[in-house]
Amino acid sequence: MDEFDLIHSITPRTIHHSSVDVGIGDDAALYTAKHGVQEIVCVDTMVEDVHFKLLYSSPEDIGYKALAVNISDIAAMGGIPKFYLVSIAVPPKWTQSEIKAMYEGMNELAKLYHMDLIGGDTVSISDKLVVTVTVIGEVEKGRACLRSLARPNDIVFVTGEIGSSAAGLSLLLEKTHSQTSAIDTDYFIHRHKRPEPRVSVGRLCSSFKRAALNDISDGLASELNEIAEASCVSIEIDESMLPVHSHLSKLHPIWKEWALFGGEDFELTGTVSKSNWEVLKQECETRQLPITKIGHVREKTESNVILKTDNGSRILEKKGYNHFK
């Protein structure tokens, strides 16, 4: 079984409400609730030992990340997050104060975005903790940054830097050991545990008539393939332009794999027209938001995503984190 095939197979062929603008297939769903506004809804689950280990994650870390990954999906639609609901399945070993600490972790981030916790559900489970967060946000009607909005000649960009979260995970799982104290391993670990959703960049993109966005949960290669598929275009990126932390390559020889396929960076990748790119770059510079051009959108060819390297070019397959592979 493949995660993406499964989702495809359960996608309904008909909808009952014409107010549904975007259903299954993007970072979040969109429906028109009131004049001039589209509501955005998304949900993501985190499971102990699949998404985090108690060995290195505090209850606050778990709560923080469970909300962060959902705010990131709202950012990837160009929206403003407003409300959240939390469903928890808690094993017997958890104390009430640990659960409260998990909500404190969420609240840390919710405060920043002025978000309200408006509901949820609590059940017991025999073994591992499961946290499911639903976030509701909104975007001006017609301004959502859909995966299907990339067009030939657009500029392809990514925010922040990629690969650092995967490096942090590798350090936490003790698959990687730093040979020198000159490398700030805590930095990479922090990037893994406490991703920062890029809401401001999403909002800048939603001010353009058209922008495609996706947030990086499964890895840059996977997310760009999703944009290329949804937009019926090909995407060409340049390996030498990929933004990575200056210490990443010193940590482990597989650093390029981390950057392309590692995932959980929760940065945004997307495409805008050439003229909008100049505006976006300038606006990001003014606000000190890191953003990097990494390539171009092309007319559709048989390969969805192409990576140009020093030795030529290769197809970047939709390889990355996949729950059933």
Q: Which of 10, 55, 123, 182 binds ligand ATP (CB under 6 A)?
A: 10
Measured from the CB atom, the residue of 61 and 239 that comes closer to ligand ATP is 61
226 interface partner picked from ligand ATP, ligand TPS, Mg ion, none, CB below 5 to 8 A per type: none
Closer to Mg ion by Cβ: residue 39 or 73: 73
27 is in an annotated binding site: yes
* Site size with ligand TPS, rule: CB under 6 A: 12
Closest CA to 212 of 20, 26, 32: 26
**Selected binder of ligand ATP within 39, 48, 73, 265 (CB under 6 A):** 73
| Adjacent-strand bridge partners of 171 | none
Q: In what order do the strands lie in the sheet with 305-309?
A: 212-215, 268-272, 155-159, 291-298, 234-238, 305-309, 312-315
Which of 8, 15, 20, 53 forms a contact with ligand TPS (CB under 6 A)?
Answer: 53
Cβ-proximal residues to 147 (8 Å cutoff; 6+ apart), any chain: 25, 26, 27, 212, 213, 214, 226, 227, 230, 231
Q: What are phi and psi of 119, to 5 degrees?
A: 165, -175
**DSSP per-residue letters across 80-142:** EEEEEEEEEEE-TT--HHHHHHHHHHHHHHHHHTT-EEEEEEEEE-SSS-EEEEEEEEEEETT
Shortest CB 53 distance to ligand TPS, Å: 5
- Distance, first Cα to last Cα, the chain: 7
Separation CA 281–CA 28 (nearest Å):
25
Task: Tell me if 218 contacts Mg ion by CB under 5 A.
Answer: yes
254: how many CB neighbours lie within 10 A of its CB? 17
By CB under 6 A, is residue 52 in contact with ligand TPS?
Answer: yes
Residue 321 among known ligand-binding residues = yes
CB of 172 to ligand ATP, least distance (A): 19
- Binding to ligand ATP by CB under 6 A, coded x per residue (else -) over 30-49, reads --------------x-----
Tell which residue, 246, 102, 142, 111, has the closest CA to residue 184: 246
Residue 66 vs 307, nearer CB to ligand ATP? 66
**Would you say 69 or 220 has its CB closer to ligand ATP?**
69
Under the binding rule (CB under 6 A), the answer on residue 161 touching ligand TPS is no
Could you tell me how many residues of this chain bind Mg ion (CB under 5 A)?
A: 6
> Distance of CA 166 to CAs 17, 115, 156, 235, 263, Å?
40, 28, 22, 23, 6
Chain residues binding ligand ATP by CB under 6 A are: 7, 10, 24-27, 44, 69, 73, 217-218
Binding positions are 27, 44, 51, 73, 103, 120-121, 147, 215, 217-218, 264, 321
Binding positions for Mg(2+) are 27, 44, 73, 121, 215, 218
Binding positions for substrate are 51, 264, 321
Binding positions for ATP are 103, 120-121, 147, 217
